[in-house]
A and B are shown apart, each in its own frame.
Chain A
Amino acid sequence: LGHGSGGQLMAELLRDVITPALGGSGVLEDAAVVSVGSTQIVFSTDGFVVTPRFFPGGDIGSLAVNGTINDIAMRGADPVALSLAYLLEEGLPVAELRRITTSVAAAAGAAGVPVVTGDTKVVERGGVDGVYVTTTGIGVRAPGVDPSATRCRPGDVVLVSGPIAAHGMAVLSAREDLGFDSGIRSDSRPLHRLVCTMLHTAGAAVHALRDPTRGGVASALNELAEASGVSVELDETALPVARQVAAACEILGVDPLHVANEGCLIAMVAPESADRVLAAMRRRPEGAAACAVGRVGDGPAGRVTVRTLVGSTRVLDMLVGEQLPRIC
C-alpha cells in the first residue's frame, strides 16, 4: 500500500522493478518524447484511482483529463488528443458513469483537447473499486524546446504557479468527512496554456517543469534534484499555501509540501529569465498567484532543503510509505 503514495517506496518500485524490466534510462519524466520524422511527439499515460470519485473542485473524470494534459505540458508540448479507458466494477450505477463521462467531456472541451478514442471493460464485483480511468495523450513540441528533469542547473530559480496542497486536502477531507470548514477545493485544472505562455516568454531558459501530484512538491523537487544532480533550497516563507489548507495540514500533522496537487506546476528557470517568466505567468488566471520559492544549488546531488520561518535549514525528503513519524 505504501508504494502508492507517490513517495520513496514508489520511486524504488520504479527504479528496481519497472523501469529496468522495460529497459528504461532510470530518469523519470512526466512524459516521453518520440521523434517522428522531424516532428517531436510527446506521449504520456496515466491511471486514475481516487476515493471519493467526486470531491470539491473536481471528480475522477476531470482529474483524468487534466492530469494527462499536464503531464504532456510538462515536457513543453501542446496536447493534441486524448484516449480514455474505463475499468468498471460490475454494479456501478450507470448514472454515475454518465456523470463522470460528462465531466470528462467538459474538461476536454474546456482544455480544447478532444478525446478521440477509448475503451471500456467491466470486471466482476471486487475486481476494481468502482471505476478506474486511464487516459493517454499525445502532444506536439516545437523545435528547440526541451524542459526536462535532467536540465536543472545551479542558480536556477524555482517557481511555483499557485497555492499548493489544496487537492490532497480536499480529497482527504471529503473522503474522511473531517469536518473542516468548507472552502478547500481541489486545484485540478489544465496547465498547458500556462506552459505555452512560459515557453513563449523564455523558451529554452525554462529548464524543467513538473506537476507535483502524488508526493507533493517535496517528491517532485527530490526527483528533479536527483535527475539533474543538483541541490534545491526552498524558502518556507515564500511558499504559497491557502490559509484554510495550512490550518487543515496543521491539524492533521501533515506537511503541505508532501500533499498532492493537480493544478499547479514547478518550474526551474534560468536566473536571468525568472522575473520575465514570473510576470508572464501572473497574467494568466491559473498562474495569478505564481511566485519564486527557492533556488537550485550546487550542494549534494538530490538534496532538497527548506529554510524555515525561524531561519534553520531542514532536509526535505520524499514521503516514505505512509507518513511514519521519525522522532523518538
Chain B
Amino acid sequence: MRIEVHGTVQGVGFRPFVYRLATGLGLRGEVHNAGGHVVVRAAGPAVAVDEFLTRLTGEAPGQSAVDRVVVTRESGSPDGSDATRGRFTIRASTDERSGPRELPPDLATCDACLRELFDPADRRFRYPFLNCTGCGPRATIVGDLPYDRARTAMRGFPMCGPCAAEYRDPANRRFHAEPTACPDCGPRLRWSTDRVADALAAAEAVIAAGGLVAVKGIGGYQLVCAADAHETVQRLRTAKHRPRKPFAVMVRDLAVARTLGDVGPHAESALRSTARPIVLVPRHPGAPVAGAVAPGLAELGVFLPYSPLHHLLLTDLDRPLVVTSGNRTDEPIAITDDHADAVLGPFVDGILFHERPIWSRYDDSVVRVVAEHPRVLRRARGHSPAPMPLPASAPAPLLAVGAQLKNTVTLGIGGRAVTGPHLGDLSDVGTLAAFEESIAALSGLHAVTPEVVAHDLHPGYLSTQHARRWWSARDRIGVQHHHAHVAATAAEHGVAGPFLGLAYDGFGLGDDGTLWGGELLLCDYTRYRRLARFATAPLPGGEAAVRGPARMALGYLFGAENRLPDHVTEDHGLLARLGDRQVTLVRRMIEADVNCPRASSAGRLFDAVAALLGLCDEATYEGEAAVLLEAAAARGGPSTPLRWRLGRRAGLWVYDPAPTLVDVITADGPVETVARRFHRTVTEVSVAMVTECARQTGVRTVCLGGGVFQNQLLAGELTTALAGQDLEVHLGALVPVNDGGVSYGQAAVAAATLREG
C-alpha cells in the first residue's frame, strides 16, 4: 500500500506520528518526506491497514492539516530492502520534485517544551532555543524543501550525542525535530557589550532599569522596553520615526492580559493560537501601560510569548513589555546581526544577539475581533505561508504581486494559493528589495516558475511596475483593485456562484481611470459590474490629502459631487484651524482642478468626518483618522443615524454624503455621539444599497472587502444588519480585508480567468 499525504505535513511531527501509529498497529513499511508531502508504504493485516488510514487523518498532529490522501496498491514488499523487513522505519527524505511542496509556519512553544524550560532538573532548563516536533521555528529557518535539518539555519549546529539520540528515537518527542538543540550543541545568546557571562541577565537588567533593548527574535529583531516606561517609549517613537502609531505589548500570560484589557472568548482563542498574533483588545482605563504606547486609542495590541526566549524575558521581568518590530517606520525588519547593529544599534541601550540565523523575515501577525470572529489584519509569522484554497485550480503556476502598501505576494499552484508574509510599503527601497526576494524565495521553496503574473491596474504601484518590467503583455493579467479585495473574501470562504462585492477602501484605480473606494460590484471570479458607488470628492494634492484628513475635509466642503450649502461650508471650526491662506489656496486648487483627482472613496469620507469633528487633521500612519473616529464612536453609545441620500446617476446607485456631512457639521451633542451616528449612517446606507442591488440581481451572497472593514463597529453592525435581511455575508478572516489580501484576490481572479481561457 502506498499512501501519499498532502497538506501541511512537514515540520509538524507528521512522520513520527505515522511511525508511532504504524508500529502500534504492527504494520511493516516506511515513511519519508518527499517534495512537500509525506509518502508512507505500509503492509500488514487488512484490518490494521484500514485502521491506520482512518487514524492517519483523524489523529494527525495538531499543527498539521491534511488536504488529500492518495492510496495506491503495491504488490510485493513494502520496502525493497530485506534488512527492514518486518519493521517500520523512517527513511531519509527523497528529493522528488513532483507534487506540491509545503512549508509550515512557525509554531509557538508547546506546553511540554515550556515545562522543560522551567524545570531545573531538565537538561534544557532555561535554554532559549529548545523546541520539538510540536513547536519551534519553521518558515523563518527553512532554506529549501524537503524540510530537513540540513536545509535549515540549524545546519551549522551539529547535534550532540543526547540530542542526536532523541532525534533518532521514534518514541521521543524530538524524533526528527529538525531544529532541536540543547545548551551543549545549539545556538547561544550574546550581549552586545562584550563577553558577559549571562547575556540574558544583562539584557534584562537594562530593561528593568527602564532601558531599550533590541532582541533577536524568530522572524526578525524586536525592540523591547518596559510598557510603563513612558520616556523610553517616547524615545522609541523618536528613533523609529513613529509619532503615534500604537505599539504592541507582550504579557506573561492570559491573566496579565486581562489586567490590561477586556479579553473576550474570541480574543482569547486568537491569543492562544499557535500563531500567537498581536490581538487588539479593548483597553482597561487603569491598564499599567504608558500613555505613549497607544495614544488616544480605546484598544491595546496584546500578545503572549511565543518563543522560549520571550518566555524567559517575560517570566524574569514579570511585567508587560513593549515588543515592536526592529526597524524604522516603513523599512523592513532587521534580520541579520550586522543590519541590526547598524540600524538599531545607534539608539538602543544594547542588543541581545543569538547564533541561529534568521533566513526569512516574518513580522508579528495582527488580529482583531470583528463581527464575532478573529480577523487577521496583518498576516505574517505563524500564519504565512500556510496555503489557502483557490476557487479555480490554476492551470499554470501564477504569481500575484499585490498592491503598493501592505504588500504581500501570492503564488497560485494548482488549487492552492501560498501568500508570503506581510512586506509593507514598496516605496521604501528595502521593502522593494524584500518584495523581489520574497518572490524568488517563495518560487524557489515551492519549486515553481510562475508563467503568468497578476497585478493591479494602477500603473504607479511598484508591484505593477515589477510585473510590467519582467513579464510580457501576453502573460500579464490586470485585476481591478476592488475586484481583488472582494474576490479575496469570496475565495477564502469558498463562495462558488456570483456574489455582490462591497468594497470600502481608501482607494484603488477603477477601470475608468478614476479612483474608486466605495463600491458595490456584481461579481464572479472573472468579471464584475459596478452597481453602486459613493459620490466623489476631490483629493486636494493627491497623496497629500491622504496624509492630511483636514485637506480631505476641504475636498468635501468645496468640491463634493453634490455641493454642500454655503452656510455650512463658510463657517466651520476646521477653516479657522487651518487658517485663511491654506483654505483659500486649497479651495482654489479644487476650483481649478489642480492635482485634485476625484475618488468615490469610503475611507476618505471617514477621514473627512474625523477632521470635521476635530479628531485628526494630519495622519501620521495609514488609517489614523479612521481609527480615532471609530474609537470616539465606540465611546459614544448607540444612537440614531444622520441623514443620507441614495440616488441614481448614469445607471448606478450613488450614496450622496452631502446631507450626512451637513449633519456632522451642524449636529449638537458630543463628538463621540456624532461619530457614532455617522457609523450608523454608513451602515444604513450600505444596507439600502446592498438590498436594492440584491433585489435587482437576485444575488444574495455579499462579500465585504477593503481596509474600511477593519472597523469593528461598522463591520459588526453591517454584517448583523445584512444577515437580518436574509443575505449570506462574508468578511475576510485569515485573509486581511486591507491591501494585505489583494495579492490573494488577484491570484483567485487570475486562476479563474486562465481556467476560463
Chain A: residues with CB nearer than 8 A to chain B?
Answer: 8-9, 172, 176-180, 250-254, 303, 305, 310-315, 317, 320-328
Contact = CB atoms under 8 A, between A and B. Distances in A.
Contact of B331 (A8, A177, A251, A312): A312
B595 A177 contact: no
B725 to A, nearest CB: 29
Given A325-B545, A327-B622, A328-B405, 18 more contacts: A8-B459, A172-B594, A176-B589, A252-B544, A253-B542, A253-B545, A311-B241, A315-B426, A323-B542, A323-B595, A324-B459, A325-B539, A327-B404, A327-B543, A327-B547, A328-B406, A328-B508, A328-B707
A50 to B, nearest CB: 16
B585 interface: yes
Nearest to B540: A253
Contacts of A9: 459
Interface in B729-756: 738-739
Interface of B: 241, 328-331, 403-406, 426-430, 432, 458-462, 465, 505-509, 515, 539-547, 582, 584-586, 588-589, 592, 594-595, 597, 603, 622, 707, 738-739
10 contacts: A251-B541, A252-B589, A253-B540, A253-B595, A311-B328, A313-B429, A314-B428, A324-B597, A325-B543, A327-B405
A312 B427 CA distance: 10
Contact of B594 (A178, A313, A321, A326): A178
Contacts, number: 114
Contacts of B543: 253, 325-327
A310 B242 CA distance: 11
B505 A252 contact: no
Contacts of B330: 312
Nearest to B331: A312
Contacts of B507: 325, 328
Nearest to B509: A324
B585 A254 contact: no
A247 B589 CA distance: 14
Contact of A315 (B241, B329, B432, B588): B432
A315 B428 contact: yes
Nearest to A303: B429
Contact of B585 (A178, A311, A322): A178
A312 B428 CA distance: 7
A323 B428 CA distance: 19
A328 B622 contact: yes
B585 A251 contact: yes
Nearest to A305: B429
B427 A252 contact: no
Given A178-B594, A312-B241, A324-B597, A317 B588 contact: no
Contacts of B738: 328
Contacts of A178: 585, 588-589, 592, 594
A320 B460 contact: yes
Q: Which 4 A-B pairs have the closest CB atoms?
A: A253-B541, A253-B544, A328-B506, A320-B460
A324 B430 CA distance: 23
Contacts of A310: 241, 328
Among B330, B459, B465, B582, find the residue whose CB has the most chain A CB atoms closer than 10 A: B459
A253 B273 CA distance: 44
Contacts of B515: 324-325
Nearest to A251: B585
Contacts of B589: 176, 178, 251-252
A325 B546 contact: yes
